[in-house]
A and B are shown apart, each in its own frame.
Chain A
Amino acid sequence: MGLLNKMLTAIRGGAREVGENIVDANGIRIFEQEINDAETELEKGKRDLTSVVAKEMEAKRNVANLTDEIVKHEKYAKDALDQKNEELALEVAQKIAELTSQLGIQVKAEESFKNHAAKLKDLIKKTQKSLASMKRELVMVKTTDSVQKATTAITSNYASSNSKLLSAKESLDRIQKRQQDLDDRLVAGGELYDEFEGKDLEAKLKDAGIVENDNSAQDILERLRSNKTGE
């Protein structure tokens, strides 16, 4: 976390002046170059690994072939001895000795390529890990840089537009007041709507004779009369 730490220390160092770069552009370039180098190294490591593994496989094949050959020749030697052909048996034995010494070389080669491949694999894993962490760090550094630059732009935009930077509470109060006004308007609007609609409807219902007309004198008398008879 070298670069990121440096950057955070710089930010912690105090208020930044407008236009001042939080991250040294040169520092980023050097870091990007280091990442490129690590990537090249990684590619080379992978190619090396391929060729070492190929050589290991070849040695392994040689070991198998030589072992087969030796087994075969041991059988020839036995056959020659069975036929009491000492001269031929000796010749075959010499061949076996030669094959055995070749086998020894190939076994050693296989072992050595195997170790080499294991070491390369470890190295590649290590490089991949550190490469990933370098890339992550670069992203963090670049993002911080970009956010700092954005902040500078936003701040100077405020300054140039002459608008007063409100405190959070002032903003909240304004927005909530506007929302309250809107709510009030909606409620008032709703009441008016009901009123108009209601009146309209009542009038229509009266016209249709569904709702009775205003009490007439006749109706009142009628009601009073019926009340009396009921007593």
Chain B
Amino acid sequence: MTEINKIANGLSDLHSNDNIAYPFEIQPIPGEVDILKITIEDMEELPVYVSVSDNQILCISYLFKEDEICNNDGSSLHDIMLKMNIPMPLSSFSKINDQYVIFGALSINSSINDIAHEIEILSENTLEAIETLKDYLK
């Protein structure tokens, strides 16, 4: 069984054991790289994507695209994002092409509870980050 399948099964076991604790919906996305799309209850608009590489588990959530930033406010937005980066628990900001993202990286040996916790925190951080940065967005 591949790593990503183990994670998918582990997460859905967690959910069925205690369906209040982790209200996740897990959906594999086909492609060259195995990805899980995790939809969290009441946060359906901001799913978390989980992928596994040789050395780490990456949990990524999309924030906004470059063209959603208000005119010429890029550098003050970046300034705030850099300043938020450390205080924000477990997650960091990054950019993939023109897409701003928030992500957490875990060791490949993380327990399923660590991964579930990471997803939960990431999801909360995503909402918190957009809320904080909304004045810079169209």
Interface residues of A (CB under 8 A from B): 11, 15-16, 139, 142-143, 146-154, 156-157, 166-172, 174-176, 178-179, 182
> Could you name 7 residue pairs across A and B whose Cβ atoms are closer than 8 Å?
A139-B55, A149-B33, A153-B32, A167-B65, A167-B68, A169-B68, A169-B138
- Chain A residues within an 8 Å CB radius of B33: 146, 149-150, 153
- Chain B residues within an 8 Å CB radius of A178: 42
Residues B30-69 near A (CB distance < 8 A): 30-33, 35, 37, 42-43, 45-46, 49, 51, 53-56, 58, 60, 63-65, 68
- The answer to whether B29 touches A148 (Cβ under 8 A) is no
* B interface majority secondary structure: mixed
- The answer to whether A171 touches B46 (Cβ under 8 A) is yes
- The answer to whether A175 touches B51 (Cβ under 8 A) is no
- The answer to whether A168 touches B63 (Cβ under 8 A) is yes
- The answer to whether A167 touches B127 (Cβ under 8 A) is no
- The answer to whether A167 touches B137 (Cβ under 8 A) is yes
Contact pick for B134, options A153, A172, A174, A182, CB 8 Å: A172
Q: A139-B54, A143-B56, A168-B130 are in contact. Are A150 and B98 (CB under 8 A)?
A: no
Interface residues of B (CB under 8 A from A): 29-33, 35, 37, 42-43, 45-46, 49, 51, 53-56, 58, 60, 63-65, 68, 96-99, 127, 130-131, 133-134, 137-138
Contact pick for B99, options A151, A166, A170, A179, CB 8 Å: A151
- Chain B residues within an 8 Å CB radius of A142: 53-54
Contact pick for B45, options A157, A175, A182, CB 8 Å: A175
B95 to chain A, nearest CB (A): 10
- Chain A residues within an 8 Å CB radius of B63: 168
Expressed in whole angstroms, the Cα–Cα distance for A168 and B53 within the complex equals 27
- The answer to whether A175 touches B43 (Cβ under 8 A) is yes
Closest residue of chain B to A170, judged by CB? B45
- The answer to whether A147 touches B130 (Cβ under 8 A) is no
A155 to chain B, nearest CB (A): 9
Q: Shortest 5 CB-CB distances between A and B: which pairs?
A: A153-B31, A171-B45, A168-B64, A149-B33, A149-B32
B102 to chain A, nearest CB (A): 11
Expressed in whole angstroms, the Cα–Cα distance for A218 and B122 within the complex equals 69
A109 to chain B, nearest CB (A): 46
Q: How many A-B residue pairs have CB under 8 A?
A: 90
- Chain B residues within an 8 Å CB radius of A152: 31-32
Expressed in whole angstroms, the Cα–Cα distance for A178 and B117 within the complex equals 23
Expressed in whole angstroms, the Cα–Cα distance for A11 and B97 within the complex equals 7
- Chain B residues within an 8 Å CB radius of A146: 33, 51, 53, 58
- The answer to whether A157 touches B127 (Cβ under 8 A) is no
- Chain A residues within an 8 Å CB radius of B96: 147-148, 151
- The answer to whether A154 touches B53 (Cβ under 8 A) is no
- The answer to whether B64 touches A167 (Cβ under 8 A) is yes
Expressed in whole angstroms, the Cα–Cα distance for A200 and B27 within the complex equals 47
Contact pick for A16, options B55, B58, B60, B97, CB 8 Å: B97
Given A142-B53, A168-B63, A176-B131, 6 more A-B residue pairs with CB atoms under 8 Å apart are: A148-B96, A148-B97, A150-B51, A151-B99, A154-B31, A157-B37
- The answer to whether A174 touches B45 (Cβ under 8 A) is yes
- Chain B residues within an 8 Å CB radius of A167: 64-65, 68, 137-138
- The answer to whether B42 touches A175 (Cβ under 8 A) is yes
A34 to chain B, nearest CB (A): 17
- Chain B residues within an 8 Å CB radius of A166: 45
